[in-house]
Amino acid sequence: MEKINSLQNAHVKAWKKLQTKKGRKQQEQYLLDGWHLVNEAVKAKVAIKTLLITAKQLETKPDLTKFPAVIEISEEVASHISATVTPQGVFAVIVLSEREDDLTQLDLSRPWLLLDNVQDPGNIGTMVRTADAAGFAGVAFGTGTVDIHQPKVERSMQGSQFHLQLINTDLNVMIDQLQAANAPVYGSELNPQAAQYLDIDAPASFGLIMGNEGNGMSRELLARTDKNIYIPIKGRAESLNVAIAAGILMFGLYH
């Protein structure tokens, strides 16, 4: 088994760059951090290129036969390439999927969640996990939304990224796809023309757009929706967190 201890190693420098969107795009791969995500990737038969593991983790005698290549790394290297303060000491280098930019093979028999300029990785992860739990077909990451493989987004999705389809796209293109398939697109906004989500009888397939945490959906996309909906607030709170609102709407519309 190959062993790498130096931070100056060329592989280590390349793995470190996978923390950035530019590095992931250039290398056409990304990094998963921790056994939970690595095991979820294995179960989903994702294309794992290399497993990186520390001596401490090797002592637990994991099954390494499922990985095409395994490299032992030092604790120093693990800390260097990880985006967490206390990494577990196990990583998987994953090949980027071409499906993430391919809108020709979308499952339009079930709903889609569309993210418009959503910035908080925790919110994104919560929404992806909720879309998974609610039975959605996938989540579209629109322009301005944090990258699918940003380390904090990866961790917060908790493996749900392997249970449904995630794509990067201009949401205008996604709206075209949905509406061409007779799937209505719902925006989320409180305005005089909006309807309470409880009054919507949604079909089996639809699109639901959630907007930026501070500014909501863009005017351009709001003008293209089939209906804009809102959640009635009975208390005195001004608004709901976008991930909480998305959860209410996903389960409320798709049942």
* Same domain flag for 144 and 247: yes
Structure confidence by residue, pLDDT tens digits, 21-43: 999 999 999 999 999 999 999 99
User: Residue 158 has what pLDDT?
Assistant: 93
Residues 19 and 113 grouped into a single domain: no
- Block residue for tokens 């995500």: 37
**Is residue 81 located within the same domain as residue 109?**
no
Judgement on whether residues 111 and 163 belong to the same structural domain of the protein: yes
Q: CATH number of the domain at 42, please.
A: 3.30.1330.30
* Domain final position from 96, 130, 152: 96
89 and 111 within one domain: no
Domain boundary (62, 96, 130) is at 96
The predicted structure's pLDDT at residue 241 = 93
Q: What is the CATH number of the domain that holds 105?
A: 3.40.1280.10
Q: Verify that 26 and 151 share a domain, yes or no.
A: no
Same domain, 191 and 104: yes
In this prediction, residue 190 carries a pLDDT of 73
Q: Name the more confident of 85 and 14.
A: 14
The mean predicted confidence, pLDDT, of the chain is: 94
The count of structural domains within the chain is 2
Dump pLDDT digits (tens) for 206-237. Answer: 999 999 988 889 999 999 999 999 999 889 88
Question: Does residue 159 share a domain with residue 115?
Answer: yes
Same domain, 116 and 241: yes
Residues 83 and 138 in one domain: no
Give the model's confidence band at 253: pLDDT under 50 very low, under 70 low, under 90 confident, else very high: very high
Residues 104 and 198 in one domain: yes
In terms of domains, do 161 and 118 share one? Answer: yes
Tens of pLDDT along 1-19?
899 999 999 999 999 999 9
Segments forming the whole domain that contains residue 25 = 2-96
The last residue of one of the domains, among 47, 79, 96, is: 96
